[in-house]
Structure 1
C-alpha cells in the first residue's frame, strides 16, 4: 500500500537523528533550521516512510530537498504528482535542489532535470591551527542591512534569504564608505553552523579578502559548534584551495540542479 501525507512535527524531529548529517546537509538544514517554514511531503510504502520532499518558499525560486530512506521502494512518479498537487505548483516551474549521485540518477530517469547539473562540494572545518588571526572585518550593523543585501544580490548569490542577514552574523570590509567584501552564514545555530555568501567586489579579488572573511567567520562559528560547514562549486578551484588552506576538508560531492515537476517516465517504481 502506498500513500502520501504532510509529515507531522513529531516525525520531522525524529528524522534528525536518523540521517547522516554530512551526507545530507541540505535536508538536515530543512529539518533543523527551516522546520517551521518548510513543508515535508512523505511517501509511505506498507506504512514505512520511504522518501521525503521538503519544500520552502523562502528563496527566489521553489526550493526543495530530497531524502530517500529506501531507494528500492520509492514510487517516484506518484511522489512528484502528489507534491505538485499539494503545493499547487505548475508542472513546468523551474525548481532547485542539491542531490547526491544516486538521487540525481533517479531525477534524471524521470526526465525532471533541466540544464546541466553543477558539481558542488560540502566542506567541514578540521584544523583550527590553519585559521588566520586577522580580525579586521567588522560586523554589519542593522542600518547597513539594505546596503549589504544589495551587495550580495549584485554578486549573484542565489541561495540567500533576507532573514539570514537579520538572524545571523555578517561581516564586511569597506574601502571608504562602500563594501568591497561581505561574508556571512546561511545558518548560525548550535544544531548547524554553515558559512555562505562570501562576496568580493571583482576589482578587489586576489587580495585575500575572501580568505580573511572565511577565517573570521569560522572562528565565530566555532563559538557555537565544533562543526562548521560551507559549500562551494567544485569548478571554483581557487576557492576550494583557499578553504583547504584554512583547514576545511570535503565531506560530500553533490550536484546542484534545476528541475521541473513534470515526470516523463511513467513506470510506477524506480
Structure 2
C-alpha cells in the first residue's frame, strides 16, 4: 500500500540524524534552518518511508529538495503527482532543485527536466592556514540593507532572499560610498554555516575582492560552527581555484536543475 503524507516533527528529527550532511547539504538545510518554512511530503510504501519531496516558497521560484531513501521502492510518478496537487502547482510553473546523479536520472527518465542541468560543487573548508589575514571588508549595516539587496538582485543572485541579510552577517567592500563587492551567508548557526551571495561589480573583477571576502567570511563562519561550506558552479573555474587556494575541498558534485510537474501523471495512491 502506498501513502503520501506530511512528515511529523518526530520523523524530521530522525532524518536529521540519518542524513549525510556533506552529501545532502540542501536537504539537510530544509530539515534544520529552513524547517519552519518548509513542507515535507513523504512517500510510504508498506509503512516504510521511501522518499521525501520538500518545498519552500520564499525564493523567487518554487524550490524543492528531493531525498531518496529506498530507491528500488520509490513510486516516483505518484509522489510527483501528489506533490503537484498538494502544493497547487500547475504544469506551467518552473521549479528548481539540486540533484545527485541518480536522482537527476530519475527526474530525466520522466521528462521533468527543462533546459540543461548545471554541474554544482559543494565545498568544505579544510585548511585554516590558507586563509588570508586581511580584514578589509566591513559589516553591512541595517541602513544599508536595501542597497545591498538591490545590488545582489541586479547581479542575478537567484538563490538570495532578503531574510538572509536580516539574520546572517554580511560584509562589503566600498569604493567611496558605493559597494563594489559584497558577501554573506545562506546559513549561519551552530548547525550549519554556508557562505553565499558573493558578488563583485563587473568593473572591479579580477582584483581579488572575492577572495578577500571569502577568506574573511570563512573566518567569521568558523566562529559559529566547526564546518563551513560553500557552493559553486563547476564551470566557474576561476572561483573554484580561488576556493581551493583558500583551503576548500569538494565534498559532493550535484546538478542544479529546472523542472516542471507533468499534468498527465495518474496517481493511484492514498493520502493521510
Tell me the TM-score normalised to structure 2 length. Answer: 0.97
Q: Which runs of 5+ in 2 are unaligned?
A: none
Equivalent position of 1:158 in the other structure: 158
Conserved in 1, the CA contact under 8 Å of 2:7 and 2:42? yes
Structure 1's consecutive aligned runs of 4 or more residues displaced over 4 angstroms after TM superposition are 263-268
Q: 2:123 and 2:208 mapped to 1: Cα distance?
A: 19
Conserved in 2, the CA contact under 8 Å of 1:120 and 1:233? yes
Superposition map of 1:256-267 within 5 A = 256-262=256-262
Q: 1:240 and 1:35 mapped to 2: Cα distance?
A: 30
Distance of aligned partners of 1:264 and 1:101 in 2 relative to their CA distance in 1, 3 Å threshold: farther
Q: 1:173 and 1:231 mapped to 2: Cα distance?
A: 21
Q: Which runs of 5+ in 1 are unaligned?
A: none
Equivalent position of 1:252 in the other structure: 252
Equivalent position of 1:146 in the other structure: 146
Backbone CA RMSD of aligned residues: 1.3
1:23 aligns with 2:23: yes
Equivalent position of 2:223 in the other structure: 223
Distance of aligned partners of 1:252 and 1:103 in 2 relative to their CA distance in 1, 3 Å threshold: same
Conserved in 1, the CA contact under 8 Å of 2:78 and 2:266? no
Q: 2:13 and 2:189 mapped to 1: Cα distance?
A: 16
Superposition map of 1:165-204 within 5 A = 165-204=165-204
Aligned partner of residue 59 in structure 2, secondary structure: coil
Aligned partner of residue 42 in structure 1, secondary structure: strand
Tell me the TM-score normalised to structure 1 length. Answer: 0.97
Count of aligned pairs between the two proteins: 268
Give the C-alpha shift of residue 39 in structure 1: 0.2
Equivalent position of 2:110 in the other structure: 110
